[in-house]
Amino acid sequence: MVNTPMKIQKKAQAGSLESSDVLITVAPSEKLTIEITSIVMNQFGQIIREVVEDVLNEAGVSSGEIIINDRGALEYALRARMKTALKRAEDGGE
């Protein structure tokens, strides 16, 4: 449940390009765009998109540029990286 919608105020990243991880970049934008690149896109691309959209919905994000560069991260890692990137983009939190 979202109390206050979250706004992406600046560009931020979380994660890495190491094997079994994901690098997530978020940036301000007038509309919501999600770009996904993954080594397992054929098998898990739709699941990755659903997880990303779920985290965005939970945070109340309705606009921003979201770039996912997945290297085979598990769902919990993807969720954690998304939340961290959003937190950093909102207020510079680590």
- Listed by start position, the domains of the chain span 12-91
- Looking at residue 48, its pLDDT comes to 97
DSSP-assigned beta bridge partners for residue 69: 23, 37
Residue 35's φ and ψ, nearest 5 degrees, are -115, 125
pLDDT at residue 15, as a whole number: 97
**C-alpha neighbours within 13 Å on the C-beta side of residue 8:** 25
d(CA 50, CA 47): 5
**Residue 3: band (very low, low, confident or very high) from pLDDT cuts 50, 70, 90:** low
- The whole model's pTM is what? 0.90
The CATH number of 12-91, from 1.10.8.80, 3.30.230.10, 3.55.40.10, 2.40.100.10, is 3.30.230.10
**Helix (H/G/I), strand (E/B), else coil: 35:** strand
- Residue-wise pLDDT tens digits, 16-71: 999 999 999 999 999 999 999 999 999 999 999 999 999 999 999 999 999 999 99
Q: How high is the pLDDT of residue 4? A: 78
Q: What's the pLDDT score for residue 36?
A: 98
